[in-house]
Amino acid sequence: SIAQAAAVAALTGQQAFLDDWRASFASRRDKVVASLNAIPGLECRAPEGAFYVFPSMKGLLKKKTPQGKVIESCNQFSTYLLDEAHVATVAGSAFGMGGYFRISYATSQALLDEAMRRIAKACASML
Contact 43, 37 (CB under 8 A): yes
**Sign of torsion over alpha carbons 84, 109, 52, 117:** negative
- Residue 89 is predicted with a pLDDT of 98
Mapped to the 3 state alphabet, what secondary structure does the chain carry?
Answer: CHHHHHHHHHHHCCCCHHHHHHHHHHHHHHHHHHHHHCCCCCECCCCCCCCEECCECHHHCCCECCCCCECCCHHHHHHHHHHHHCCCCEEHHHHCCCCEEEEECCCCHHHHHHHHHHHHHHHHCCC
Confidence of residue 14 (pLDDT cuts 50, 70, 90): confident
pLDDT tens, residue by residue, 30-62 = 999 999 999 999 999 999 989 999 999 999 999
User: How large is the average pLDDT for residues 77-92?
Assistant: 98
Spatial CB neighbours of 94, under 8 Å, sequence gap ≥ 6 = 102
- pTM of structure: 0.88
C-alpha span between 56 and 98 (Å, rounded): 9
